[in-house]
Structure 1
Amino acid sequence: MVAPALRDMIPAPKEYVHSTNAVVMVPPVDFKFNAETSADNEFQKKLALTDEQVRQQALLEFNGMVELLRRHGVNVTVMNYEQGKDETPDAVFPNNWFSTSPTGDVYLFPMACENRRREVRTRHLVSSLVAQGFNVLNVQEIGDLKAPQSFLESTGVMIMDHINATIYAALSVRCDRELLQQFAHEAGFKDVVFFDTKMASGQAVYHSNVMMAVGEGFAVICDEIIEEFERRRVLSSLQKTKDVVSITEEQMNHFCGNILQLRNDKNEKLIVMSMSAYNAFTKEQKDVLRHHGQLIPIDVSTIETIGGGSVRCMLAENFLPR
């Protein structure tokens, strides 16, 4: 824990801003099809490419995304991440193992797949953030990181509405209800809206952030995969303060739910998404979203096809104070 004197150096935010202009990204140094995660991630697909070709294309997409975000005024910290003796094929999706807060807290979370636990490199994360002038006052583990019996994969499974202090979460193997409630209490969230999902395959969605996204004034959600009784409850909660864009399961499969609202250095709102998602949204849906920020489509087709995650999964929001 952090000494009170250090904590007092960081004033409490006057208003909890929902979107940030700073993100952390991790280069895809070991990127390839991850057989361990494919057990419950139906979004992963193999391509007729060698591992080396996959890595080269993934690195081109990653660098292009970093450049595009910076060009639009987003502060991108590229984490110092080197290859180790054991591969980490999904390290390009850092939002599954940590989250940050404006009070200087970094939370670490237990992940379900053993080869994903190797991604947790706290020293590299903290040094990369400090080098960019951010204050890390406290690092806190949620659950057992090394040999977990239950899992909570950070903002992959928790969709946070910071303004209304509410977390939305689709329960699954990767989202344990008790750990979810523990984190919500410790991080100061007032309400947790959890629900069960069932896709056309009969399986639960593996991560909440492929089926829904919440911005300051909007929400995108594939509500048709939520059981009817719970669906009404979730939509009722969202509709109190959000323009709700309902997407189909087919649109979800194109990662329309895997989008993120950010701000640039001029405090203008942006909504980042993959090119696949942008093309799958209808004109009417895009018109609604444009009321809440400039739409920024990014080509990450190799990463999202092989990795089963898209633009939002590649971005770990950085709310830390400077």
Structure 2
Amino acid sequence: MITRDIDAFFAFARDVAPDFGPATARAAFLVAPDGFRLAEQSARDNVYMAGESAFDAQRASMQHRELQRAISSVIPTVCFAGDPDTPDAVFPNNVFGTAAGRTIIGRMRHEVRQREAARKDIRGFFGGVLDYAEIDLSQQPHACELTGALVVDRARGLGYCGLSERCDEVGARLMHEAFGLRASLLFDLAPGEYHTNVVLAVLAGRAAVVCPRGFADPEIAASIAAFHAPHAVVCDEAEHAAFVGNCIALSGDTAWMSAKADAALSPAHRARLAAAGFRVESVALDAIEAGGGSLRCCIGEVY
């Protein structure tokens, strides 16, 4: 099922067992912020991106290394070298995604990001080392920026796909098929939002973090929160702006977010995550966040 009908989607979702596959990834991969700087093309439709003077490549590199060290305590984590010609490559989950036994390569909107999809080392790692089959969407014309645009409930095989300039309806269908999902809900992001994973996270199938202002139709956000009640965190404006929605579960008991997001998370919402079985772990990523994304954007998942 792939639909815009929220009633039909959740009627289906309520009967879906959490038996689609592992709820969290078995490993993670990163791309180092080598030559990290303002990507002018990406800045056209990413309101979270800071001005050029805010970029500090050395600090970004140090924070990124600490991110790898931190999450390596939970799951195996590899890091590929960056490339100054691809300054957004620090956010690899938009370009490379995985499902059981296969790699999906997305179609990026901006040419500066399309270069990332051609990387032979990352393709070779998945195809040659892990022996994953490759589904290459990068050469077709429809934007589909993978798990930036598509938030996946891996336990149930459900997708939440926000449409914007970074993903159209055809691209959404291509991703739905490539990830082999049971059902996907399509909806429009609010004007100015570029990726769903900035305003929505599903944590190990047990909890959801929702930023209502990021949805064009607030009923969509409310329905997602209701589906995950009582383990739904509905972010306020400050939490939204601090990237609380850009979090990820890397194990059944950890929810990771940036230090900025951690500081903005209200005590009540922290308690709600704890009630769902998650402790919050965080890493300082303010230098990376100048690029318009946060912790979840940095993490590619290996399923």
**TM-score of the two chains, using structure 2 as the length reference:** 0.86
What do the CA deviations read for 1:11-35 (whole angstroms, capped 9, x no partner)? xxx7511212410100011211111
1:276 corresponds to which residue?
260
Give me the identity figure in percent: 24
Unaligned runs of 5+ in 1: 1-13
Residue type matched to 1:111 in 2?
A: M
2:222 alignment partner AA: L
Secondary structure of 2:263 counterpart:
helix
The alignment status of 1:302 with 2:294, answered yes or no, reads no
Give runs of ≥4 in structure 1 deviating > 6 Å: none
- In the alignment, structure 1 residue 118 sits paired with structure 2 residue 126: no
What are the within-5 Å matches in structure 2 for residues 52-201 of structure 1?
Answer: 54-70=56-72, 72-79=73-80, 81=81, 83=83, 87-102=85-100, 104-129=101-126, 135-142=130-137, 145-146=138-139, 149-198=141-190
Contact 2:98 2:179 in 1 (8 A): no
1:209 counterpart (197, 201, 208): 197
**Is the contact between residue 161 and residue 196 of structure 2 (CA under 8 Å) also seen in structure 1?**
yes
The letter for the 1-side match of 2:109 is: A
Q: Is the 8 A contact 1:29 1:83 kept in 2?
A: yes
> Is contact 1:31–1:89 with CA below 8 Å preserved after alignment?
yes
1:275 to partner: Cα distance: 0.4
Aligned AA for 2:108? M
- 1:113-152 deviation line (CA, Å, top 9, x unaligned): 1111111244211444578xx623311112xx25x53201
8 Å Cα contact 1:30-1:91 kept in structure 2: no
What root-mean-square deviation, in Å, do the aligned CA atoms of Structure 1 and Structure 2 show?
2.1
Residues 221 and 241 (structure 1 numbering): CA distance in 2 closer, same or farther, change over 3 Å?
closer
Distance 1:73 1:222, change over 3 A: closer
Aligned residue among 224, 240, 243 for 1:255: 243
Q: Distance in 2 between matches of 1:247 and 1:270?
A: 19
Amino acid at match of 1:153: E
Partner of 2:208: 219
Specify the alignment match of 1:8 in structure 2. Answer: none
Q: Does 1:231 align with 2:218?
A: yes
Deviation at 1:177, TM superposition (A): 0.9
Deviation at 1:277, TM superposition (A): 0.4
**How many pairs are equivalent?**
282
- Secondary structure, aligned partner of 2:134: strand
- Cα shift at 1:169: 1.6
Equivalent-residue separation in structure 1 for 2:155 and 2:195 (angstroms):
22
- Contact 1:225/1:249 (8 A) holds in 2: no
Question: CA–CA distance in 2 between the matches of 1:170 and 1:82?
Answer: 28
Tell me by how many angstroms 1:48 deviates. 3.5
Alpha-carbon distance between aligned partners in 2 of 1:130 and 1:88, rounded to the nearest angstrom: 22
Cα distance change on mapping 1:68 and 1:141 into 2, 3 Å = same
List gaps (5 residues or longer) in structure 2.
1-18
- In structure 2, the CA distance between the partners of 1:30 and 1:16, relative to structure 1 (3 Å rule), is same
1: distance between equivalents of 2:47 and 2:213? 17
Q: Which of these two proteins has the greater Rg computed from alpha carbons?
A: 1
| 1:162 positional shift | 1.7
Kept in 2, the 8 Å contact 1:262–1:271? The answer is yes
Question: What is the TM-score with the length of structure 1 in the denominator?
Answer: 0.81
SS in structure 2 of the partner of residue 43 of structure 1:
coil
CA contact (8 A) 1:78 1:128 kept: no
Residues of 2 paired with 1:149 and 1:121: CA distance? 16
Which segment drifts farther, 176-185 or 151-160? Answer: 176-185
Q: Counterparts in 2 of 1:27-46, with a 5 A limit?
A: 27-46=32-51
Superposed CA offset, 1:184-211 (max 9, x none)? 134321211121232xxxx231000111
Query: Which position in structure 2 is the counterpart of 1:19?
Result: 24
**Residues 294 and 138 (structure 1), Cα distance of their counterparts in 2 relative to 1, 3 Å cut:** same
Partner of 1:286 in structure 2?
270
